[in-house]
């Protein structure tokens, strides 16, 4: 990575490390988002009204609040509440505190989960009723019904939406730079810009880094789409 | 430190509510600007000649492939550093050049234009070729054909998508709080730094944004009904 140092005004290594942190935040938050999304979609499609109501509240509220505000709420309110709850219920020892990385990726994952919920719900609803009926007629156990009949088809419907949310996840990872405790690629660029007074250059470098993530992601998503899509749907 | 309702009602909500016009102005002005700039961009996105299509595609990819926060910093700090000092300090433009609001507004508009153009292109593509041909047969100029025949129909098609996009835009305006603009989130952060109380300003900001999103949704519904009033369904 040190070969990048000269053209990047001595900040090559730090920028590369920052980009890796950004990628880690994106990947972890997306994985958590998928968990929230699966739970949310299951709740929205469930038989019980209270679950449907809870999931509806979750997606509506998260999608009505600015991402930056949600991240701040998670850091200054959510983390503290969780820590106190964990200590008072005896799940954790006194003085327990969450690592900032965990708080950041859970907060971002919580946000993406709301969007993933909607994508997954729509994907399941797009499967023709006959598929459910056929699975029942074959007397498949519920897990096989879900895993072998519904999930593979829903995945194909959801792929486009999930890809878009991943592209957003890489961009939303830039929000952690505002907190001031993460040396992600945007924070490193800001520090480099302020120290060298080369604002345009270093913010352009930050932009180019995110663009690189976007392009690589788009190429990989396209390959994935080709693999998963049957010819007649592609 | 526990949540104080008294502090919340008397010291947090009034300043947050008085910051609502800033957030609304940023949203409405950049929505308007992005539609005006998005129309030519969406036409260029669908244009046949490459020299018109490629720059438009490049712009939309650049804007949609990088975080808004980077764009805001690039315009506020980057563009700000390129402007000569004398212009900043002693010129007719200095009130504008020194106010972060205009940099934030520019960044929001430039970013939103790319998203709006892609949505408008969906609408333009949905309009039957016959409409273009009929407009040409009536002797309308290409501009009139676009603004009087094709665009009104395209807008009706994509209005729900645009409304959705403007709600995302309203939420994106919170990002300009990072460049010293006192919108709702910026004001909440300011209260946070001045009083060292965290819970009330952040919860207050959340309430205000939920109300604003509800308001924008309510405003959009009658517009959608009006734009689609000719449809039978």
Q: What is the rounded end-to-end Cα distance, in angstroms, of chain B? A: 56
Taking the CA of residue A138 and the nearest CA in chain B, the distance in Å comes to 40
Residue A196 located in a structural domain = no
Residues of A in contact with B62 (CB under 8 A): 207, 211
Q: Do B78 and A199 touch (CB under 8 A)?
A: yes
Q: pLDDT (tens digit, 9 = 90+) per residue, B12-21?
A: 899 999 999 9
Q: pLDDT (tens digit, 9 = 90+) per residue, A122-140?
A: 998 888 888 888 888 888 8
Q: pLDDT (tens digit, 9 = 90+) per residue, A140-199?
A: 888 888 888 888 888 888 888 899 999 999 999 999 999 888 889 999 999 998 888 888
Other Cβ atoms less than 10 A from the Cβ of A202: the count is 28
Residue A225 located in a structural domain = no
Q: What is the rounded end-to-end Cα distance, in angstroms, of chain A? A: 39
Q: pLDDT (tens digit, 9 = 90+) per residue, A27-77?
A: 999 999 999 999 999 999 988 999 999 999 999 999 899 999 999 999 999
Q: What is the pLDDT of residue B90?
A: 72
Nearest to B65 among A178, A197, A214 (CB): A214
User: Chain A: residue nearest B65 by CA?
Assistant: A211
Q: Do B171 and A65 touch (CB under 8 A)?
A: yes
Q: How far is CA B169 from CA B18, B75, B105, B165, in A?
A: 20, 18, 11, 6
Q: Token pair for residue A124?
A: 């399941």
User: Chain A: residue nearest B78 by CA?
Assistant: A200
Residue A107 pLDDT more than 90?
A: yes
Q: Do A68 and B202 touch (CB under 8 A)?
A: no
Average pLDDT over residues B126-134: 87
Q: Do A174 and B78 touch (CB under 8 A)?
A: no
Residues with Cβ within 8 Å of B31's Cβ and at least 6 positions away in sequence, in order, are B112, B166, B169
Mutation for testing the A interface, residue in B8, B58, B65 having most A CBs under 10 Å: B65
Residue A28 located in a structural domain = yes
Residue B105 pLDDT more than 50?
A: yes
How many domains is chain A built from? 1
Q: Domain of A107?
A: 19-182
Q: What is the pLDDT of residue A233?
A: 52
DSSP B141-160: -HHHIIIIIIHHHHHHHHHH
Tell me, rounded to whole angstroms, the distance of Cα A135 from its chain centroid.
Answer: 32
Q: How far is CA A62 from CA A150, A162, A225, B154, in A?
A: 27, 17, 28, 30
Residue A29 located in a structural domain = yes
A216 in contact with chain B, both atoms CB, cutoff 8 A: no
Residue A222 located in a structural domain = no
Q: pLDDT (tens digit, 9 = 90+) per residue, B144-195?
A: 888 888 888 888 889 888 988 999 999 999 999 999 899 999 999 999 999 8
Interface list for A 190-209 with B (CB within 8 A): 190, 193, 197, 199-200, 203-204, 206-207
Mutation for testing the B interface, residue in A69, A180, A191 having most B CBs under 10 Å: A69
Residue B22 pLDDT more than 90?
A: yes
Average pLDDT over residues B214-224: 85
The band of A232, judged by pLDDT with boundaries at 50, 70 and 90, is: low
Contact A13, A94 (CB under 8 A): no
User: What is the DSSP secondary structure assignment for residue A8, as one 8-state letter?
Assistant: T
Query: How crowded is the C-beta side of A94, counted as CA atoms within 13 Å?
Result: 0
A1 in contact with chain B, both atoms CB, cutoff 8 A: no
Prediction pTM value: 0.89
Fold of B5-227: MetI-like fold (1.10.3720)
Taking the CA of residue A13 and the nearest CA in chain B, the distance in Å comes to 20
d(CA A25, CA A133): 41
What ipTM, to 2 d.p.?
Answer: 0.88
The band of A8, judged by pLDDT with boundaries at 50, 70 and 90, is: confident
Q: Which domain CATH number covers A162?
A: 1.10.3720.10
Residue A205 located in a structural domain = no
Residue A232 located in a structural domain = no
Residue A217 located in a structural domain = no
């Amino acid at each position: 990575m040190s070969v990048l140092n000269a053209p990047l005004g001595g900040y090559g290594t730090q920028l590369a490390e920052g980009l890796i942190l950004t990628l880690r935040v994106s990947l972890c938050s997306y994985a958590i988002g998928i968990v929230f999304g699966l739970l949310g979609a299951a709740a929205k499609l469930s038989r019980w009204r209270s679950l449907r109501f809870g999931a509806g509240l979750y997606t509506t509220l998260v999608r009505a609040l600015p991402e930056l505000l949600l991240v701040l709420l998670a850091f200054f309110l959510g983390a503290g509440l969780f820590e106190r709850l964990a200590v008072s219920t005896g799940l954790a020892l006194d003085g327990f505190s969450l690592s900032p990385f965990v708080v950041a990726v859970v907060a971002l994952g919580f946000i993406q989960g709301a969007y993933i919920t909607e994508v997954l719900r729509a994907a399941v609803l797009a499967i023709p009723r006959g598929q459910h009926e056929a699975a029942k007629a074959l007397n498949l156990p519920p897990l096989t019904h879900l895993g072998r009949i519904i999930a593979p088809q829903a995945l194909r419907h959801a792929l486009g939406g999930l890809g878009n949310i991943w592209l957003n996840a890489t961009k939303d990872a830039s929000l952690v730079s505002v907190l001031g405790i993460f040396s992600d690629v945007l924070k490193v660029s800001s520090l480099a810009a302020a120290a060298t007074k080369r604002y345009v250059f270093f913010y352009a470098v930050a932009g180019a880094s995110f663009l690189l993530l976007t392009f690589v992601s788009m190429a990989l998503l396209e390959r994935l789409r080709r693999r998963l899509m049957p010819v007649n749907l592609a | 430190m526990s949540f104080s309702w008294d502090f919340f009602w008397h010291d947090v909500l009034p300043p947050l509510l008085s910051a609502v016009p800033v957030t609304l102005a940023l949203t409405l002005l950049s929505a308007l600007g992005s539609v005006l700039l998005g129309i030519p961009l969406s036409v260029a996105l669908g244009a046949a000649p490459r020299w018109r299509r490629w720059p438009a595609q490049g712009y939309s990819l650049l804007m949609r492939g990088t975080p808004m926060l980077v764009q805001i910093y690039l315009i506020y700090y980057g563009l700000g550093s390129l402007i000569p000092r004398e212009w900043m300090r002693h010129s007719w433009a200095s009130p504008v050049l020194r106010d972060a609001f205009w940099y934030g507004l520019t960044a929001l508009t430039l970013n939103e234009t790319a998203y709006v153009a892609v949505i408008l292109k969906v609408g333009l593509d949905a309009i039957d070729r016959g409409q273009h041909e009929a407009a040409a047969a009536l002797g309308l100029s290409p501009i009139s054909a676009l603004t009087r025949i094709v665009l009104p129909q395209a807008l009706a098609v994509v209005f729900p998508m645009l409304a959705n996009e403007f709600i995302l835009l309203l939420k994106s305006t919170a990002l300009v709080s990072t460049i010293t603009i006192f919108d709702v989130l910026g004001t909440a952060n300011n209260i946070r730094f001045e009083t060292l109380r965290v819970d009330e300003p952040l919860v207050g900001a959340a309430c205000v944004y939920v109300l604003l999103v509800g308001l924008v949704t309510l405003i959009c519904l009658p517009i959608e009904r009006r734009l689609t009033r000719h449809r039978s369904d």
